[in-house]
Structure 1
Amino acid sequence: MRVEDSPLIDFIREEHRFSFGTFYFFDNFIISEINEGELFDWNKASEVIRVGQEFYGEEGQINYISNRIHDYAIKPQDWLRFLYERQLFKTFAVVTYRKTAIYNLVIERFFYKGDIFSFDSLLEAVNFIREQNALEPANDFDKLTQLYNDNSL
């Protein structure tokens, strides 16, 4: 499910469209949707990091959800560079919809020293982030919308 097609669309604080994908900034996390066929490398990641630091501030770690609605590649050696530069993710979650995305995730786990959590749906990933931040999870998007209106997503 794309963010645009979900009730999450109503709670986006900022949306950043790059030539390589779209990044949605919420209060407690970022959701990325990289374009079909992209090679997501250090230069592209640097653009997103810069925008993220402007939005969230220089300090602290970010909860990140990679919503893999398209097939794309990540340059593995750039993961190493990223890791040496900073440990930016508090929680790194991936939503996969196809087998090819799962294969990429296996490779990424070799290069990323932190935990990468895998989910089958966007709701599951958002709930996991909520639980990590001591917020109540929801069993559907209607409940999630109600929780958001009561406090913060």
Structure 2
Amino acid sequence: MRVRDTPLIHHVLEEHKLPFGVFYFFDSFIISEIAEGVLFDWEKAFTVINLGIQFYGTETNHLNYISNRINDYSIKPQDWLKFLKMGKTFKLFAAVTYREKSMLNLVIERFFYKDAILSFDSLLEAVNFIREQEELVPLQNFDEL
């Protein structure tokens, strides 16, 4: 499920459409939707990190991130090491996987990212997890927003 196909779209504070994906900034989290066939490498990740720091005015370890894996794309898992060398992590990192290939990529990423990457079957589950951790009321569905 794409963000734009849910009532979440009405709560986006800032949207960044980049050649390699769309990034939605909300009050307490970012949702990414990487484009089909993209190799999501450090250069692309660094662009998004800087946008997040500019928007939220804080380092990434205070940001919650949801990777909404609606498309098939590749990552360079070793690039997580560059992210970590800079002393960066996310407060919470959630991945929504819809296909087996996305789940396999997630397994590989977990070897390189030092904190937990939580996996969810739906965007609503991931958003609710973040909301609960931020002490906000979970939603039964997106229409409650």
TM-score band, normalised by shorter chain: over 0.9
> What is the match of residue 123 of structure 2?
122
Q: CA deviation at 1:142?
A: 1.8
Cα displacement string for residues 46-104 of structure 1 (whole angstroms, at most 9, x for unaligned residues) = 11011111100134510000000001111021111111113230000000000000000
Mapped partners of 1:48, 1:85: distance in 2? 15
Matches within 5 A, 1:28-107: 28-59=28-59, 61-107=62-108
RMSD value, Cα: 0.9
Mapped partners of 2:8, 2:37: distance in 1? 25
What's the TM-score, normalizing by structure 2? 0.96
Count of residues paired in the alignment: 144
Matches within 5 A, 1:138-149: 138-143=139-144, 145=145
Mapped partners of 1:31, 1:86: distance in 2? 22
**Moved runs in structure 1, 4+ residues, more than 4 A?**
none
Q: CA deviation at 1:30?
A: 0.2
Amino acid at match of 1:42: W
Structure 2, unmatched stretches of 5+, are none
Structure 1, unmatched stretches of 5+, are 146-153
Amino acid at match of 1:3: V
